Amino acid sequence: MNKKQKNLLYRIIAAIVCVIALLLLDSVIPTWYLKLALYMVPYLIVGHDILKKAWHGIRNGQVFDENFLMTVATIGAIGVGIYNAMHGGDDDYLEAVAVMLLYQIGELFQSYAVGKSRRNISELMDIRPDYANIEEDGEITKVDPDEVEVGSIIVVQPGEKIPLDGVVVEGTSSLNTAALTGESVPRNVTEGSEVLSGCINETGVLRVRTTTEFDESTASKILDLVENAASRKSKSENFISRFARYYTPIVCFAALALAVVPPIVLAVMGKNPMIAEWIYRACTFLVISCPCAVVISIPLSFFAGLGGASNQGILIKGSNYLEAMSEVKVVVFDKTGTITRGNFEVTAVHHSPIESDKLLEYAALVESHSSHPISQSLKKAYGKHIDSARVTDVKEISGHGVTGKIDGIDVAAGNTRLMDRLGIAYHDCHHVGTIVHMAVAGKYAGHIVIADELKPTSKEAMLQLKKAGIKKNVMLTGDAENVAASVAKEVAVDEYHAGLLPADKVTWVEKLLKEKDAKAKLAFVGDGINDAPVLSRADIGVAMGAMGSDAAIEAADVVLMDDDPMKIAKAIKISRKCIRIVHQNIVFALGIKILCLILGAFGIANMWVAIISDVGVMIIAVLNAIRALFVKNL
């Protein structure tokens, strides 16, 4: 609790003690004015700042705020008490004191809860580095990350946050990237690896040459994004602030009407006007009219939702996108980099009579002189140093493949035409991708399949999306029809379109936008490379695998820090949960208010019911809003 909150707490306690004392002494207080004076003590202790604020509000032309409502309602109630006392009725000042007291308890709770969730969320996003260890002439000094120039060498000890993006020049370690990606598996780094600010160095000492200034570093950008997210307000938030603007004055005038009209009507009809009773009902009205429960809980829900999502490595750039995300019914994927990894790799070795590793070794060696992407991926799959001295007599036959001798043995690697040409029988492959047939010492030695790999979770991700009620998963790709067809079948998308140029993707997204229901939203998921136009054309652009890609962070509305397609379904579920909570709160809080207004107007609900329902609704709504933060197991 901060100073203000503590101060309020002490005042509340003091007022409660006073009230209890007064209740015990009630029968011995001789006159009504002494009783009134005594009850004014706790009233002023707990409510003096409300009275002051209301007075300020009136002077500055800001009449209809909650301070004004509480002031008028409580003074009205005291007035009714005095009136009753003077006419020999039952004087009750406790009610006015209790209203003020409960109202302040509500305020205290609200301020504490909001402060607490503010702290919780900033702890979740605790990636801001406090210092950098800079090394100069063998001496290590701690400096502000802001002061470190690009190209400086910084030292990161185990347990420290990496303060700036850079490249490791010395040391190996594993990094905890949980704060950035929500992924708990540590990432291993060694010399030459790129490291991102905000990760925590876990095991070894690293020397890093920085590549960005602090303002441009990943950590700063993410923090900036998260902090700005709350200022892009959603439709619900705008609705509530508009609502509050009209609601309070309307209820105030309704209260005024309630105090004036029925007594006049009754008087005209020749009955007892019951002025005190109607003023009391009007005061009850004012107590109910305080809109704080909704006004506080809606932005709090969104803030908690955004915070919970960013903790899972899902950065949503605004409450408006969170809201739109919950209405997504069509998800369009750009295949490469989202469903597939986007790098060509050896995916299988078939029909090899010798060991697969040996075959890969031969393939990598015989192709070692080529710079073709296929030979690159062979070398990568082999993974060891290539001793080119072992390779002799290399002949590249254009459009066929390569032949040569390795350790004196004849090796041929190429397509079916090469095998035909060499007169070697081969097995055709039913896999999709590029097939490298191998012949060793004049005999067929199987084939190697090179393809863009599916991500391990792609299939499950599509399933999850379907389960979450997505009507259509669409895959767009620039790849050839047969590759697209096979991927589409494997992961079970509903629709695919192959052989597209970047501009065609925009056209397709526009077409899909037209086809879908007007209320449903379309999300486009890309890897952030060359798809900025489509990302901005879709209702929501989602960029994935964005660790370190500035372009993607700029262009997208939702940024997934790692490249797991499962996160898309998760983002949708998080947004739905948040929106559900928002709707629950609106319906619940307004429903109770309207009910109380009706009961109050008929004199069924007194001021006690009004204030307890008001504070109770607020507490429940705030607790419900905080639920939006817990999204880990969605």
Partner 1 sequence: MKKSYKIDVDCAACAEKMQEAARKTEGVKDATVSFMTLKMKVEFEEGADPAVVMPNVRTNCKKVEDDCEVYLD
Are the beta carbons of 155 and 136 closer than 8 angstroms? no
Stretch that binds partner 1, among 225-233, 321-329, 403-411, 593-601 (CB under 8 A): 225-233
Least distance to partner 1 from the beta carbon of 179, Å?
18
Interacting residue with partner 1 among 11, 15, 46, 66 (CB under 8 A):
66
Stretch that binds partner 1, among 80-88, 155-163, 287-295, 338-346 (CB under 8 A): 287-295
Give whichever of 523 and 631 is closer to partner 1, judged by the CB atom. Answer: 631
Beta-strand (E) ranges in 139-210?
139-143, 153-156, 166-170, 173-176, 187-189, 194-195, 200-201, 206-210
Are the beta carbons of 378 and 451 closer than 8 angstroms? no
Are the beta carbons of 633 and 627 closer than 8 angstroms? no
Residue with token string 């494997």: 490
Task: Examine residue 53 and tell whether it contacts partner 1 (CB under 8 A).
Answer: yes
According to DSSP, residue 364 is labeled: H
Interacting residue with partner 1 among 291, 404, 526, 541 (CB under 8 A):
291
Task: Examine residue 398 and tell whether it contacts partner 1 (CB under 8 A).
Answer: no
Task: Examine residue 114 and tell whether it contacts partner 1 (CB under 8 A).
Answer: yes
- 306 Cβ contact partners less than 8 Å away, ≥ 6 residues apart: 226, 229, 230, 316, 319, 322
Q: Which amino acid is at 226?
A: V
Task: Examine residue 233 and tell whether it contacts partner 1 (CB under 8 A).
Answer: yes
Helix (H, G, I), strand (E, B) or coil at 567: helix
Interacting residue with partner 1 among 203, 241, 370, 457 (CB under 8 A):
241
Interacting residue with partner 1 among 295, 328, 555, 596 (CB under 8 A):
295
Question: Binders of partner 1 among 447-506, rule CB under 8 A?
Answer: none
Give whichever of 122 and 486 is closer to partner 1, judged by the CB atom. Answer: 122
Least distance to partner 1 from the beta carbon of 555, Å?
19
Give whichever of 33 and 55 is closer to partner 1, judged by the CB atom. Answer: 55
Query: Which pair of tokens denotes residue 194?
Result: 């790129």
Give whichever of 60 and 398 is closer to partner 1, judged by the CB atom. Answer: 60
Task: Examine residue 244 and tell whether it contacts partner 1 (CB under 8 A).
Answer: yes
Give whichever of 4 and 6 is closer to partner 1, judged by the CB atom. Answer: 4
Q: How many whole angstroms separate alpha carbon 251 and alpha carbon 288?
A: 9
- Sheet bearing 434-440, strands edge to edge: 340-350, 443-454, 434-440, 409-414, 401-406, 391-397
Residue with token string 């938030």: 237
Task: Examine residue 56 and tell whether it contacts partner 1 (CB under 8 A).
Answer: yes
Least distance to partner 1 from the beta carbon of 284, Å?
21
Task: Examine residue 323 and tell whether it contacts partner 1 (CB under 8 A).
Answer: no
Stretch that binds partner 1, among 146-154, 300-308, 397-405, 441-449 (CB under 8 A): 300-308
Q: How many whole angstroms separate alpha carbon 552 and alpha carbon 376?
A: 27
Size of the site for partner 1 (CB under 8 A): 27
Least distance to partner 1 from the beta carbon of 3, Å?
12
Interacting residue with partner 1 among 91, 92, 107, 531 (CB under 8 A):
107
In the 3-class helix/strand/coil scheme, how is 439-494 assigned residue by residue?
A: EECCEEEEEEEEEEEECCCHHHHHHHHHHCCCCEEEEECCCCHHHHHHHHHHHCCC
Interacting residue with partner 1 among 127, 206, 288, 300 (CB under 8 A):
300
Q: How many whole angstroms separate alpha carbon 558 and alpha carbon 324?
A: 11
Least distance to partner 1 from the beta carbon of 62, Å?
5
Closest alpha carbon to 446 in 355, 558, 337: 355
Stretch that binds partner 1, among 107-115, 137-145, 370-378, 472-480 (CB under 8 A): 107-115
Q: How many whole angstroms separate alpha carbon 94 and alpha carbon 522?
A: 57
- 533 Cβ contact partners less than 8 Å away, ≥ 6 residues apart: 502, 506
Task: Examine residue 363 and tell whether it contacts partner 1 (CB under 8 A).
Answer: no
Task: Examine residue 119 and tell whether it contacts partner 1 (CB under 8 A).
Answer: no
User: Of 334, 563, 564, 614, which residue is the catalytic one?
Assistant: 334
Give whichever of 216 and 510 is closer to partner 1, judged by the CB atom. Answer: 216
Give whichever of 278 and 303 is closer to partner 1, judged by the CB atom. Answer: 303
Interacting residue with partner 1 among 60, 184, 371, 398 (CB under 8 A):
60
Task: Examine residue 118 and tell whether it contacts partner 1 (CB under 8 A).
Answer: yes
Interacting residue with partner 1 among 22, 222, 292, 532 (CB under 8 A):
292
Closest alpha carbon to 103 in 616, 624, 621: 616
Least distance to partner 1 from the beta carbon of 323, Å?
16
Q: In sequence order, what DSSP letters do the residues of 266-330 get, joined into one string?
A: HHHTTS---HHHHHHHHHHHHHHT--HHHHHHHHHHHHHHHHHHHHTTEEES-HHHHHHHTTEEE
Does residue 334 have an active-site annotation? yes
Start-to-end CA distance of the chain, whole Å, equals 32
Task: Examine residue 62 and tell whether it contacts partner 1 (CB under 8 A).
Answer: yes
Task: Examine residue 228 and tell whether it contacts partner 1 (CB under 8 A).
Answer: yes
Q: Which amino acid is at 228?
A: N
Give whichever of 3 and 519 is closer to partner 1, judged by the CB atom. Answer: 3
Is residue 523 within a helix (H) or strand (E), and if so which, with residue range? strand 521-526
Give whichever of 100 and 451 is closer to partner 1, judged by the CB atom. Answer: 100
Helix (H, G, I), strand (E, B) or coil at 497: strand
Positions annotated as catalytic residues are 334
Question: Binding residues for partner 1, per CB under 8 A?
Answer: 4, 53, 56, 60, 62, 65-66, 107, 110-111, 114, 118, 227-228, 230-231, 233, 241, 244, 291-292, 295-296, 299-300, 302-303
